[in-house]
Structure 1
Amino acid sequence: MDDHTDDDPFADLALEKAIHLRWTLRDIKAHRLAMSPVDDEDLALLTERGLVDVSDGVPTLTEAGLDAIN
């Protein structure tokens, strides 16, 4: 089994959904939320997986979130 599979927070998701969520993480990192608002369900999923923290309604990446896109 590939070692990276264990580290992939999206390994259990369909490929298209995983790609979409990685782009969502990139949008959060680049502060593009005015142009690309995060869907509430996506934000909940990313928060549950420890990839995003939300403070005062503003999502920011955690270390795990940064690792997921690097």
Structure 2
Amino acid sequence: MRYITKDGVDYFYVEDIEKNFEYFMFNGGEIIYIDNIPLIDSKYVVKLTEFDLNMKKVLNFKPMKKDK
């Protein structure tokens, strides 16, 4: 994932986090813009745990419909 450092703070590109949204989550209210590029402070980006990923699968589960 791409990132830049400004004033000693690492910022991730929001676009890259959204592409990897399956594994990461972030608070959208903390987005800043530098040169019209949406960035987010690395402290607001959280890597999902295995439990979180499994819960996401369970909550998004849609059983297949049987033909009648």
Between Structure 1 and Structure 2, which shows a larger proportion of strand residues?
A: 2
User: What is the TM-score of this pair, normalised by structure 2?
Assistant: 0.33
Between Structure 1 and Structure 2, which shows a larger proportion of helix residues?
A: 1
User: What is the TM-score of this pair, normalised by structure 1?
Assistant: 0.33
